[in-house]
């Protein structure tokens, strides 16, 4: 025979709190914070062709001279800074969504030839072309018939 359990509204709140805590755990948020602890960073598309790896990073408002790109081993790091154009003292903002400050994004890339890498910046999009090293390029092996 089943027993009756008295309804306790606090039990429902406790369950809601545990669910919210699990939702906000650091592991789930890690892709957004990357290595800087900041949500401010470029969104990136990365794809490969037969000869190179191409990285496109959206960095609107960043001047090319404020970008720093480093390739060490298999780690590509894009750093930059967006500076506020004007002082904001005395302004009563109704909405402020644009972000200012520095950012950093680190990505893993396959073996590439850093000496032949190129970077282009157009309309707020940074395009990095990283030629693959000879060791990782696919090789075709011809089959000989006897």
Look at residue 137 in the predicted model and tell me its pLDDT: 67
Annotated domain spans of the chain: 35-85+98-136
Residue 33, pLDDT above cutoff 70: no
Q: What is the DSSP string of the chain?
A: -PPP----HHHHHHHHHHHHHHHT-HHHHHHHHTTTT-S---EEEEEE-SSEEEEEEE-TT--GGGEEEEEETTEEEEEEEE--SS--TT---S------EEEEEEEE--SB-GGG-EEEEETTEEEEEEEBPTTTS----PPPP-
- In tens, the pLDDT along 87-127 reads 666 778 788 777 778 888 999 998 898 889 999 999 989 99
CATH annotation of 35-85+98-136: 2.60.40.790
Look at residue 34 in the predicted model and tell me its pLDDT: 45
Contact indicator for 32, 105 with CB cutoff of 8 Å: no
* Sign, CA torsion 26/30/35/41: negative
Look at residue 37 in the predicted model and tell me its pLDDT: 43
Least confident of 7-11, 69-73, 128-132: 7-11
């Amino acid at each position: 025979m089943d027993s009756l359990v008295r309804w306790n509204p606090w039990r429902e709140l406790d369950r809601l709190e545990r669910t919210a805590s699990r939702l906000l755990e650091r592991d789930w948020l890690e892709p957004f914070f990357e290595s800087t602890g900041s949500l401010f960073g470029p969104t990136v598309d990365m794809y490969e062709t037969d000869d190179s790896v191409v990285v496109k990073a959206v960095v609107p408002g960043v001047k090319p001279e404020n970008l720093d790109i480093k390739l060490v081993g298999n780690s590509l790091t894009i750093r930059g800074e967006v500076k506020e154009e004007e002082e904001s003292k005395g302004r009563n903002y109704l909405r402020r969504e644009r972000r200012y400050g520095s950012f950093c994004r680190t990505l893993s890339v396959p073996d590439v030839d850093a000496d032949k890498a190129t970077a282009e910046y157009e309309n707020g999009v940074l395009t990095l072309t990283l030629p693959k090293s000879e060791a990782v390029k696919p090789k075709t092996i011809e089959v000989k018939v006897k």
